[in-house]
């Protein structure tokens, strides 16, 4: 069933949330657009401006690393200060109520945690762009320090151990994080309601989770303003603006 009326969407979600014993949230870039962070595939996306620097190139080529950091800091400046939106706040409330076990997210912006969802309830499949990590020893590096060093030397910074420092995101060509994938499977297989919000559902393996939930017997709900790849598989498609659809479930902050 596809619902395009916001009032009907509110009523249907309220009914499903009341019925569910355990839900899993799944989010993509669309939940953050009302916060000023553009999504990946909508027209004019700044993320599509350059050919992505894949993981092997980042490792192999110091010039590619420098370019990756330049791009990263330019994007960070554009979206610095983004605050969580109504969708993030609704999911934080559902997690706080105990009904939603966790939020699986493809996003790297940290806005679920900023909205109050405890970090251990946010499963970041593609990492987190608000800090950096050494690829050798795993040490965390703060972006402000990395940037200061980069601007001082003009070179991509290294860890004290000599390892390559990279934004803590998962790049094209980089292995998916094992523990996050394991936990995402677990949350997907233990829920009776799986709600996918703001994703075109074309990026795999992430987009495999809604399908897995459905095959496992959960009710699959998709909230997005345009068609997604998995609409045909969903029990319910709520087509419209995420913030408007989820606002009744968002606690004010
Ligand atoms: P996507 O860009 O492919 O899809 C986003 C979907 O959200 C689109 O179908 C769009 O129509 C919809 N949308 C946008 N704003 C909406 C709104 N206000 N209401 C309803 N629908 C809305 O994004 P994806 O599926 O998440 O895949 C993109 C990849 O890029 C992900 O892997 C993610 O890691 C990365 N990314 C992350 C961020 C972020 O962290 N905020 C931003 C851009 C890209």
For 118-143, how does the pLDDT look when each residue is reduced to its tens digit (9 = 90+)?
A: 999 999 999 999 999 999 999 999 99
For 21-67, how does the pLDDT look when each residue is reduced to its tens digit (9 = 90+)?
A: 999 999 999 999 999 988 877 666 666 677 889 999 999 999 999 99
Ligand 1: lining residues by beta carbon, under 6 Å: 28-30, 32-34, 37, 39-42, 47, 106-109, 126, 198-200, 203, 224-226, 241-242
Cβ neighbours of residue 36 closer than 8 Å, sequence gap 6 or more: 79, 82
Q: Is the pLDDT of residue 156 over 60?
A: yes
For ligand 1, the distance from its centroid to the CA atom of residue 212, given in whole angstroms, is 20
- From residue 209, how far is each of 128, 202, 221, 228 by CA, in Å? 19, 12, 12, 14
Q: Is the pLDDT of residue 253 over 50?
A: no
**Nearest C-alpha to atom 30 of ligand 1 is from which residue?**
40
Mean per-residue pLDDT for 77-99?
93
Cβ neighbours of residue 217 closer than 8 Å, sequence gap 6 or more: 192
Out of 10, 88, 112, 126, the active site residue is 126
For ligand 1, the distance from its centroid to the CA atom of residue 237, given in whole angstroms, is 17
Backbone angles phi, psi at 130, to 5 degrees: -95, 0
> pTM for this one?
0.94
pLDDT (0 to 100) of residue 41: 73
Beta strands in the chain (DSSP E): 2-3, 23-27, 100-105, 122-124, 127-134, 140-141, 165-169, 193-197, 219-224, 236-239
Whether 126 sits among the annotated catalytic residues: the reply is yes
**Nearest C-alpha to atom 39 of ligand 1 is from which residue?**
107
For ligand 1, the distance from its centroid to the CA atom of residue 197, given in whole angstroms, is 9
Instruction: List, in order of start, the domains of the chain with CATH numbers.
Output: 1-37+84-126+176-253 (3.40.50.1220), 38-78+129-169 (3.30.1600.10)
Cβ neighbours of residue 6 closer than 8 Å, sequence gap 6 or more: 240, 241, 244, 245
For 191-208, how does the pLDDT look when each residue is reduced to its tens digit (9 = 90+)?
A: 999 999 999 999 899 999
For 167-195, how does the pLDDT look when each residue is reduced to its tens digit (9 = 90+)?
A: 999 999 999 999 999 999 999 999 999 99
């Amino acid at each position: 069933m596809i619902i395009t009326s916001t009032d009907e969407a509110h009523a249907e979600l309220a009914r499903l949330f009341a019925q569910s014993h355990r839900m899993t949230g799944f989010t993509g870039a669309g939940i953050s657009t009302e916060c000023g962070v553009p999504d990946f595939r909508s027209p004019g996306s700044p993320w599509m401006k350059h050919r992505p620097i894949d993981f092997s190139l980042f490792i192999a080529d110091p010039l590619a690393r420098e370019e990756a950091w330049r791009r990263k800091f330019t994007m960070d400046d554009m979206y610095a200060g983004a605050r969580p939106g109504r969708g993030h706040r609704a999911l934080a409330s559902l997690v706080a109520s105990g009904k939603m076990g966790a939020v699986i997210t493809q996003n790297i912006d940290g806005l679920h945690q900023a909205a109050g969802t405890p970090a251990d309830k946010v499963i970041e499949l593609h990492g987190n762009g608000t800090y950096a990590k050494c690829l050798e020893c795993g040490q965390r590096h703060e972006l402000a320090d990395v940037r200061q060093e980069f601007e001082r030397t003009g070179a991509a910074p290294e860890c004290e151990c000599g390892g390559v420092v990279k934004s803590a995101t998962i790049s094209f060509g980089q292995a998916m994080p094992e523990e996050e994938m394991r936990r995402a499977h677990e949350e997907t297989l233990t829920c009776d309601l799986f709600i996918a919000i703001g994703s075109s559902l074309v990026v795999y393996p992430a987009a495999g989770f809604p399908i897995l939930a459905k095959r496992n017997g959960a009710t699959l709900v998709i909230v997005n303003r345009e068609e997604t790849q998995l609409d045909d598989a969903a029990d319910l498609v709520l087509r419209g603006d995420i913030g408007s659809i989820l606002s009744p479930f968002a606690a004010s902050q």
